Amino acid sequence: MVKRVFSGIQPTGTMHIGNYFGAIRNWVSLQNEADCIYCIVDYHAITIDVDPKELRTASQSMALDLLACGIDPERSILFVQSDVPTHTELEWIFGCVTSYGDLSRMTQFKDKSDKQEFVSAGLFTYPILQAADILIYRADGVPVGEDQVQHLELSRRIARRFNSRFGEYFPEPEPIVRKGARIMSLADPTSKMSKSAGEVHYVGVMEPETSIRKKVRSAVTDVGLEVGAAMSPGVANLFEILELACESVGDTATVAELKTEFADGKLLYSRLKDTTFERLMDVLRPIQERRAKLAASGNVVELLQAGARKATKIASATMVDVRRLVGLGTSA
């Protein structure tokens, strides 16, 4: 049984429904099962080129998104990474127990570095900081998507190597993998929904209704259905979204109904799209309304700073232990 959960999200752009159904929804429900620490990872964000003017507002905007989705600052700790700078101190120490070979095998580094002409050392050491983020709170559970499993495995390795070299101290964090929820791009259902692919590929959680309708209506389907044939990727993806949305609002009938129609070859895709859109909005509308209220209340910064104070307390205690174990500094 996991006692302390840690997870982070980058403050880049807007949250999309892939983030929401894939990760954030789990963050919210995990609040009922464990002590949760959620972090907006702005140090990670600067591994690639970002506009300083936008970064700070993006962090606050992401905080609003998270709060609107149901992260509860009374029960959980929500803060901005760089407000607790000891993360980077632990990163250096971890960097010294991380092998170069392990890092160079990270597929996400290879993917990202291929797409850029300037490849920063920070992009390379990214997974070390991630390990520090998790372990500075000695978290034992980390909700992750499939793409992050490899990084978490490295975190476990780092914990193990630190422990064997300096003494048993860090837990090996376990991945918490919740059911499926790998939402694909609407415009290209063979690749995962992401912000970087472009505007038409994702649906933002806070996006205006008219815009969401348009994107759902424009989703790629297929040329027509033979009765009994398997779903094409685009149709399967729409069903996935529909199913997740229905589940969130407690609608148990609709998916089965449409699936029967599909099996009989009677399902019109326009109906599938319209229904998916309606259910999706049932989920997103309350989130959007909550977000508007939170934004108007104007106290996000205080909330985040209060979160940072709570996080600092835990992180600082860890660092006192770590410095002692490693033999750093002058004070015992």
Using CB under 7 A, list all residues that contact RNA: 117-119, 187, 198-200, 217-225, 234, 268-271, 273
Nearer to RNA, 138 or 201 (CB): 201
Active-site choice (195, 214, 259, 310)? 195
Least gap, CB of 9 to RNA (angstroms): 24
Least gap, CB of 269 to RNA (angstroms): 4
**Closest by CA position to 277, among listed 199, 213, 218:** 213
Least gap, CB of 70 to RNA (angstroms): 31
Nearer to RNA, 229 or 317 (CB): 229
Residue the block writes with tokens 């993806």: 237
Q: Is 112 a catalytic residue?
A: yes
Sheet holding 174-176, edge to edge: 77-80, 35-40, 4-9, 141-143, 174-176
Q: Is 215 a catalytic residue?
A: no
CA dist 255 to 57, 242, 285, Å? 39, 7, 20
232: its two tokens: 């094409």
Active-site choice (110, 112, 215, 259)? 112
Nearer to RNA, 113 or 150 (CB): 113
Nearer to RNA, 219 or 287 (CB): 219
Give the span between the Cα atoms of 81 and 311, in whole angstroms: 9
Least gap, CB of 20 to RNA (angstroms): 22
Q: Are residues 205 and 69 in contact, defined by beta-carbon separation less than 8 angstroms?
A: yes
Give the span between the Cα atoms of 222 and 243, in whole angstroms: 20
Active-site choice (3, 53, 192, 214)? 192
The residues annotated with a catalytic role in the active site are 112, 192, 195
